[in-house]
Chain A
Amino acid sequence: MASCHEVKEDAKVYEKTDKILLMGNPNVGKSVFFSSMTGINVVSSNFAGTTVSYTEGKFKLGEKTYTLIDVPGTYSMDATSEVEQVAISFMKSNPLAVICVLDATNLERNIKLGLDLLKYDVPIVFALNLLDVAKRHGLEINAALLAQELGAPVIPTVAVNNEGVDELKEELKKALTQQPQIGCSGCKGCPAACPAMKISDDDEDNWERAKIITARVRVKTDGKLSFLDKLGNSMLKPWPGIPIAILVIILSLGIIVGGGKALRAVLLLPLVNNLIVPFFKMLFGAILSEGILYNVLIGEYGIFVIGFEWIIALILPYVFLFYVVFSFLEDSGILPRLSVLFDNVMRKMGIQGGSMITILMGYGCAVPAIIGSRTATTRKERLIISAVVCFAVPCISQTGALISLFAGYSPILLVLMLLLSLVIMVIVSSILGRALKGKVDPMVIEIPNLLLPNGRSYRQKLLIRMKHFLVEAEGPMLLSIVIAALLKETGMLNQIAVYLEPIVSGWLGLPKEAVIALILGVVRREMAVAPLLAIEGLTALQAFVGGTVALLYLPCLSVFGILAKEFNAKVAVTIAVSTFATALFVAGIINQVAHLIM
């Protein structure tokens, strides 16, 4: 996942003549090497499938500059998913060299991929990574012997600690300048993957070969499982795994909701209300007289008023704390454990447990979740995941706005909203599971080791995500604030409100001012909530109905764009129309039923 709202895919990259590929199984640390070598920070996580699209960056070796491509992880060179097809296309595009990252804890499978890559006749340098974890598991590997067996350099590395990266670069430099030595006569000690020996095209032969090499180079010793290894094992058992999982979820919500509220009340609200907004009011008050421009800038919906109130005081604390928590869950390896524990529940919803990780990503932002659904093996599963995310998973900005909206009422409203979101999720996935043609493959997932996140990678990830939020989400938010200010100050808002009154006030039971939420929600989902905060005298029912509309409302413009790109315009329009209709229908029903009961 390169970023939040960015998918960089340019077919021209295949034509580049200076490219070096970073390849390997999923979750072996390729993205960590990429960041380390290029200085470009990319998001990496402790589960397979973090990189679903390639990332490219320049790096220098001696005097020359090369393009390093972080290729999505692949288990083999037989495309088993869209992501793996990308890896194969790169391998066929005449790269100068390949850095193949091997996972020392799963040597046989990784050597098998190495053998598959050796068939392409491209200089390869192997990075034997995760040696620290292998040692803990009682596995010692003779890297020199492995190099002899593979007929290519093998550098021991621990990428997260930057160990071995310089040596790897040095070997890569040599590999780029030297011709491969071919001339072995098949002597007795001939390496199992000697360049002179043609690597078999038969998959089973290569598995056998990988097995032989592994047996030759690996020695099992008495490993000592750490506390985290033992905890990781326990988390996979229903007892105590499920109680721990529930505790993790409650703790995460507590940190995000409670911490966000505290951060807002103690730091951000006083900062915005007592310092920033008064400063701009004073500044513009001194140079402008009252009028439309004055109001657009610092009026009720003024850009310099709600621009700070909504973005900094309302949304930012929740976004920040969500990424603090979610990045920890990603890097620690907890998420795949949750998906295994809840696979049976997910199957009943028509999807498999592995999809849970992708859906959880949607609580941050729907865009990476939809891109991340590429790891699904069937189109049907991808469609279900994407639809579920669009219908029932509020992004963190929207969640922050919803928390702020319900803060003035009972916390039960927030719980009810969460339950409503889960019910909609189950309904959408169940309907699509039955209605869509095709199948959803059962779960096949590798469980990563439970790790404490590496401080440097964790900080980098947080930094990247917050930077993307501030750069990419703030633009559209400011745009919607400008629209709000203009609509309000030109009187157009009142005119539109008259036209939409039967829906807004009649069917939904909301005050007519709430029409602004429906308009701005098209640009950003949280903007379907934020204007409700400015309406005085909103009842608990109106807040809940407004929140329901926002929860189920249209995907924002970025999500609409990515749906059209990843699927097609028809899918994007269908999802947009369905969510819009569902939002008005469900929220209206809640309002009407509540009025009948109360």
Chain B
Amino acid sequence: MVSITRRIRDKELVGQRMRTSNIANKSIHYYKNKERAKVKNNGKQISKKLDNSIYQAKDGKEYVITSAPEIGLLRSLGIVKDKSIHKRMTYKLGGPVLLMVESSEIAIGKDIAEQILVRG
């Protein structure tokens, strides 16, 4: 819960930055593939912009990983929290994403790429 709330950045609907502690008791429906999370606050549903998944992030830009799934191979390849990566492209029709981590190019399947959250 806390890790998800940390990912929430305040945007146009609320107009001020929300501290994670303020929403710790709110249920959050986090939709994979979506940039927005629906946050229930006293029954009122509001929409918050989450960090992008690397799958949806724009091509050709640098990003910092804010969260990555606990997969040994990913960790071994250096896809870990706080790591800077460069996204080269997303392949169409459910193909992988292509990342540059240091000097190495790594292709990551859609299902995993959707779970890697980035900012930047």
Contact = CB atoms under 8 A, between A and B. Distances in A.
A105 B76 contact: no
A353 interface: yes
A76 B109 contact: no
Contacts, number: 108
21 contacts: A80-B72, A105-B102, A105-B104, A106-B104, A109-B101, A204-B80, A343-B96, A343-B109, A344-B92, A347-B95, A352-B109, A441-B109, A441-B112, A442-B109, A442-B111, A444-B107, A444-B108, A445-B106, A446-B77, A447-B105, A447-B106
A238 B73 CA distance: 26
Given A347-B110, A442-B111, A443-B109, 15 more contacts: A80-B76, A105-B102, A109-B77, A204-B80, A238-B91, A343-B96, A343-B109, A353-B107, A441-B109, A442-B112, A444-B77, A444-B108, A446-B77, A447-B105, A447-B106
A376 B111 CA distance: 16
Contacts of A106: 102-104
Contact of A109 (B71, B78, B88, B112): B78
Nearest to A80: B72
B74 interface: yes
A281 interface: no
Given A344-B91, A444-B73, A445-B106, A236 B80 contact: no
A443 B96 CA distance: 7
A207 interface: yes
B24 to A, nearest CB: 24
Contacts of B74: 444
B89 interface: yes
B106 A78 contact: no
A207 B102 contact: no
A58 interface: no
B72 A76 contact: yes
Interface in B31-70: none
A236 B94 contact: no
A2 interface: no
B13 interface: no
A380 to B, nearest CB: 15
B93 interface: yes
Nearest to B98: A236
Among A352, A377, A442, chain B packs the most CB atoms within 10 A around the CB of A442
Contacts of A340: 91, 95-96, 98, 107
B29 interface: no
B94 A444 contact: no
Interface residues on A, range: 35 or more
Nearest to A25: B76
Contacts of B26: none
B96 A353 contact: yes
A544 to B, nearest CB: 33
A66 interface: no
Contact of B89 (A81, A237, A343, A447): A237
Among B76, B78, B89, chain A packs the most CB atoms within 10 A around the CB of B76
A173 interface: no
- A-B complex: 6 closest residue pairs judged by Cβ atoms: A442-B109, A75-B76, A80-B72, A344-B95, A76-B76, A443-B109
A106 B104 CA distance: 6
A347 B106 CA distance: 18
A108 B78 contact: yes
A535 B85 CA distance: 62
A79 interface: yes
A116 B76 CA distance: 11
A312 B24 CA distance: 75
A426 interface: no
A42 interface: no
Interface in A122-143: 134, 137, 139
Interface residues on B, range: 20 to 34
Interface string B9-27: 0000000000000000000
B76 A347 contact: no
A107 interface: yes
A442 B112 CA distance: 7
B105 A344 contact: no
Interface string A228-248: 000000001110000000000
A442 B108 contact: yes
A237 B92 CA distance: 11
A341 to B, nearest CB: 7
A203 interface: yes
A378 to B, nearest CB: 12
Interface string A94-126: 000000000001111100110000000000000
Contacts of B89: 236-237
Nearest to A232: B105
B31 to A, nearest CB: 19
B2 to A, nearest CB: 18
Contacts of A79: 72
A75 B80 contact: no
Interface string A128-167: 0000001001010000000000000000000000000000
Contacts of B106: 444-447
Contacts of A112: 76, 78
Nearest to A104: B103
Nearest to A208: B82
A7 B76 CA distance: 27
A443 B108 contact: yes
B112 A444 contact: yes
Contacts of A352: 109
Contact of A442 (B72, B101, B110): B110
A107 B104 CA distance: 10
A592 B101 CA distance: 56
Interface string A66-77: 000000000110
